[in-house]
Amino acid sequence: MSLLAVSNLSVQFEGRAGTVPVLDHIDLEINTGEQVALIGESGCGKTVFGMSVMRLLPSNARVTGSARYAGRDLILADEREMQQVRGKKIAMISQNSAFALNPVLTIGDQIAEPLTLHTSCRGNDLHREVIALLTSLGIERPEENMQKYPHQFSGGMRERILIAMALACNPDLIIADEPTSGLDALVKAQILELLRTVMQDRTLLLITHDLGTASALASHTAVMYAGEIVEYGPTQDLFTYPLHPYTQGLIAASPSAGFHPIPGVSPAPGQVPSGCWFCPRCSCAMDRCSTVHPSLKKTGTNRQVRCLRYD
Amino acid sequence: MTRNAFLWISVAILALYFTVALLAPFIAPYGATEIVGAPLQPPDRGHLFGTNDVGQDIFSQLVYGSRVTLIFGFCSALLSVSISTCAGIVLGYYGGNIDEVVCRILDILMPIPIFPLLIVLTTFFNPGVVQVSILMGVLGSIHGIRLIRAPALSLAETPFIEGARSIGATDLRIMSRHILPNLMPVVTAKFVSSSQHYLVMGVGLSFIGLWDTMTVDWGSMIQNAYSSGALSLGLWWWILPPGIAVVGISLALALAGYSLEESFNPRTEVNRI
């Protein structure tokens, strides 16, 4: 059953230099219990996608399309409605743990905040709840640690605290935006392991540029390029048999496959070429690739790909 | 000496002033306007600082006068800093057109000198201490709004404010629970420096007789002594006590302000080798 159905979602930013399209007609369905990874290069619009579902984009963003969640369209919901959804129904683990916590509030207060906002839990119950959350995320001596401030923790610990905040109200969907950015390899492995355990029977939208993180956590993966989805499928299949040349390139560029970078750079928003957007960098481009823009087509049982070679 | 020592010294001095103001009826031997002896008596055992031209006890006047002076300084500062903080946070957080418009208005109001403006306003309306205090708090908040708005603006863009929005916090909650605590250092330092500023200004306004001249406060005491020629007649006990009292609290507040600013803002720290 689909928990969040995003269809035809486009985002444009209005600036002094005119309107810049960032996301183009995104269709993505997240079913209950699925962990969907959204992967792509920096600047391809992954974070904007997460933010547009949460309706946290700045006021100069023009969002069209729909994001249906629990019978309503989040894109059309008003601010008051969204405040009831954020943190309670859809929670976010934001990137960059160093700045994602308020430096002048204790972490106990910050973990308690979603509970204060969305539940009637107060006083001793609240205290117990926070301790239970900290314990479940492997933070030792919770009584003592909840009195501390964010700067007294390491990056890995802060990440755990952010995960605790996101899990506090037991939300239906968790959007994790680069949950392991800025962590060293060892801590990253620990956090990934932790996320894998806690996300096992939850619904997750994972936003990352790291293929390793995606394959470790996600049941399904969507590949994004220059603001559109170019390939979608079960993670295992997609990484073993990548269909789109861009996905193939991404996998070949990963350290384990020998670091073969994709030639060229991805187009700046609003300056995409005619035809297939990946065409100028594609090693197997055909003549019509530079004129015809491919659409996202179903291939096989549950794969989708945006490439003329599979038409 | 460390800045902490300076801070504690100034806090001790301020505590002394506040104790005197609070316990005035128990400390002062006579009433502020009570005529208790021969005029212009030099200090002796009965009258610690002597008496003035109508035979009022100067020590008692000094003790009671601390109330008006302190209340004026701190209430104006409190009002001014409250307005600055609320307006600054709201402008910084919401930004956009309202911010633009209010900032331009503030730009226009900024260069207007408050003291002369107050003199003009008080000549027309003849207000009391409370009204002048309110007027001054409002007018003086212009600079404070800009001071608070700037850090609020950058705080509004930080990831943890976005984080607060992402857990469903309302704007009011974000401003009061997330932005305000981050601004407390600036707000506190501004409050201390404003109190000093307003306190001295209050003494000045009273000295030139801009509010009810029957009110006994340090400004009017100096004014009485000054206009009666205390200086040329060598009546030092009449003019020095209120003068020293003003200088003392003003120094203590300045010292507290600087130490607070230094401890909150690491960039002001000088190299101590």
Q: What is the mean pLDDT of residues B250-262?
A: 87
Decide if A87 touches B, using CB distance below 8 A: yes
The reply to whether residue A54 touches residue B166, judged by beta carbons under 8 angstroms, is yes
pLDDT of residue B208: 85
DSSP letters, chain B, are --HHHHHHHHHHHHHHHHHHHHTHHHH-SS-SS-B-SSTTPPS-SSSTT-B-TT-BBHHHHHHHHHHHHHHHHHHHHHHHHHHHHHHHHHHHHH-HHHHHHHHHHHHHHTTS-HHHHHHHHHHHH---HHHHHHHHHHHHHHHHHHHHHHHHHHHHTSHHHHHHHHTT--HHHIIIIIIHHHHHHHHHHHHHHHHHHHHHHHHHHHHTT-S-TTS--HHHHHHHHHHTTHHHHT-HHHHHHHHHHHHHHHHHHHHHHHHHHHHH-GGGPPP--
pLDDT surpasses 70 at B269: no
Q: Mean pLDDT: which of A105-119, B34-48, B204-218 is highest? A: A105-119
**Nearest-angstrom CA–CA distance, B149 and B78:** 17
pLDDT surpasses 50 at B165: yes
Average pLDDT of the residues of chain B: 87
Which of A99, A117, A118 is closest, CB to CB, to B158? A99
Enumerate the residues of chain B whose CB falls inside 8 A of the CB of residue A165: 163, 167
Map out the domains of chain B as residue ranges.
3-272
**Nearest-angstrom CA–CA distance, A45 and A228:** 8
The enclosing H or E element of A288 equals: none
The alpha carbon of residue B252 is apart from the nearest alpha carbon of chain A, in Å, by 28
Token representation of residue A195: 């996320």
Query: Residue A177's closest chain B neighbor by CA?
Result: B163
Which residues lie closer than 8 Å to B181 by C-beta, 6 or more apart? A102, A104, A105
- Which residues does residue A21 pair with via DSSP β-bridges, in sequence order? A12
Q: Looking at residue A178, what DSSP letter applies?
A: S
The correct answer on CATH 3.20.20.70 for the domain covering B3-272 is no
Please say whether the beta carbons of B266 and B252 come within 8 A.
no
**Nearest-angstrom CA–CA distance, B159 and B191:** 28
pLDDT of residue B273: 43
Please say whether the beta carbons of A233 and A240 come within 8 A.
no
The reply to whether residue A99 touches residue B160, judged by beta carbons under 8 angstroms, is yes
Decide if A56 touches B, using CB distance below 8 A: yes
State the amino acid at position B241 in one-letter form: P
Decide if B182 touches A, using CB distance below 8 A: yes
pLDDT of residue A149: 92
Enumerate the residues of chain A whose CB falls inside 8 A of the CB of residue B178: 102, 105
- What are the CA-CA distances from residue B39 to residues B47, B94, B251 (Å)? 11, 62, 32
pLDDT of residue B131: 85
Give the three-class secondary structure for A39.
Answer: strand
pTM of this prediction exceeds 0.90 = no
- What are the CA-CA distances from residue B245 to residues B69, B120, B221, B266 (Å)? 10, 28, 11, 32
Question: What does chain A come to in residues?
Answer: 311
Decide if B158 touches A, using CB distance below 8 A: yes
The alpha carbon of residue A237 is apart from the nearest alpha carbon of chain B, in Å, by 33
Please say whether the beta carbons of A195 and A177 come within 8 A.
no
Decide if A94 touches B, using CB distance below 8 A: yes
Confidence of residue B272 (pLDDT cuts 50, 70, 90): very low
Diameter over CA atoms, chain B: 74
Question: Number of CB pairs < 8 Å for A and B?
Answer: 67
How many other CB atoms are there within 10 angstroms of residue A234's CB atom? Answer: 16
Decide if B180 touches A, using CB distance below 8 A: no
pLDDT of residue B1: 55
Decide if B131 touches A, using CB distance below 8 A: no
The reply to whether residue A117 touches residue B163, judged by beta carbons under 8 angstroms, is no
Confidence of residue B129 (pLDDT cuts 50, 70, 90): confident
**Nearest-angstrom CA–CA distance, A303 and A232:** 6
The alpha carbon of residue A83 is apart from the nearest alpha carbon of chain B, in Å, by 4
Q: Looking at residue A110, what DSSP letter applies?
A: H
pLDDT of residue B181: 93
Confidence of residue B140 (pLDDT cuts 50, 70, 90): confident
- Matching residue, tokens 């249906």: A68
Site from B155, B157, B158, B160 to mutate, A interface, most A CB atoms within 10 angstroms: B160
Which residues lie closer than 8 Å to B94 by C-beta, 6 or more apart? B171
pLDDT surpasses 60 at B271: no
Please say whether the beta carbons of B62 and B224 come within 8 A.
no
Residue A37 — left, alpha, or beta (φ > 0 → left; ψ -120 to 50 → alpha)?
beta
CA atoms within 13 A on the CB side of B84: 29
Decide if A1 touches B, using CB distance below 8 A: no
Enumerate helices (H) and strands (E) in chain A, giving the number of each.
10, 12
Query: Residue B157's closest chain A neighbor by CA?
Result: A58
Angle at A92 between CA A15 and CA A173, to 5 degrees: 115
**Nearest-angstrom CA–CA distance, B206 and B198:** 12
Decide if B98 touches A, using CB distance below 8 A: no
Site from A113, A163, A167 to mutate, B interface, most B CB atoms within 10 angstroms: A113
- What are the CA-CA distances from residue A71 to residues A3, A29, A67, A77 (Å)? 9, 14, 10, 11
Q: What is the mean pLDDT of residues B210-233?
A: 84
Q: Phi and psi dihedrals of A113, rounded to 5?
A: -60, -50
The alpha carbon of residue B160 is apart from the nearest alpha carbon of chain A, in Å, by 4
Q: What is the mean pLDDT of residues B71-99?
A: 94
**Nearest-angstrom CA–CA distance, B10 and B256:** 6
Enumerate the residues of chain A whose CB falls inside 8 A of the CB of residue B264: none
The alpha carbon of residue A59 is apart from the nearest alpha carbon of chain B, in Å, by 9
Question: Interface pTM (ipTM) of the complex?
Answer: 0.86
pLDDT of residue A13: 94
Considering only residues B273 and A310, tell me which one the structure prediction assigns the higher pLDDT.
A310
State the amino acid at position A91 in one-letter form: A
- How far out from the chain centre does Cα A63 lie? 18
- Matching residue, tokens 């302190």: B70
pLDDT surpasses 90 at B31: no
User: Which residues between 171 and 200 in chain A have a beta carbon less than 8 angstroms from any beta carbon of chain B?
Assistant: none
Site from A47, A88, A104, A165 to mutate, B interface, most B CB atoms within 10 angstroms: A104
Which residues lie closer than 8 Å to B97 by C-beta, 6 or more apart? none
The reply to whether residue A86 touches residue B164, judged by beta carbons under 8 angstroms, is no
- What are the CA-CA distances from residue B240 to residues B34, B112, B221 (Å)? 21, 33, 10
Among candidate residues B263, B217, B208, the one with its CA nearest the CA of residue B70:
B217
Per-residue pLDDT of chain A (311 residues; tens, 9 = 90+): 789 999 999 999 998 888 999 999 999 999 999 999 999 988 888 999 999 999 999 889 999 999 999 889 999 999 999 999 999 999 999 887 778 999 999 999 999 999 999 999 899 999 999 999 999 998 999 999 999 999 999 989 999 999 999 999 999 999 999 998 888 889 999 999 999 999 988 999 999 999 999 999 999 999 999 999 999 999 999 999 999 999 999 999 988 888 888 988 889 888 889 899 999 999 888 889 999 999 999 988 889 999 999 87
- What are the CA-CA distances from residue A194 to residues A176, A180, A219 (Å)? 13, 11, 16
Which residues lie closer than 8 Å to A274 by C-beta, 6 or more apart? A290, A291, A293
pLDDT of residue B136: 86
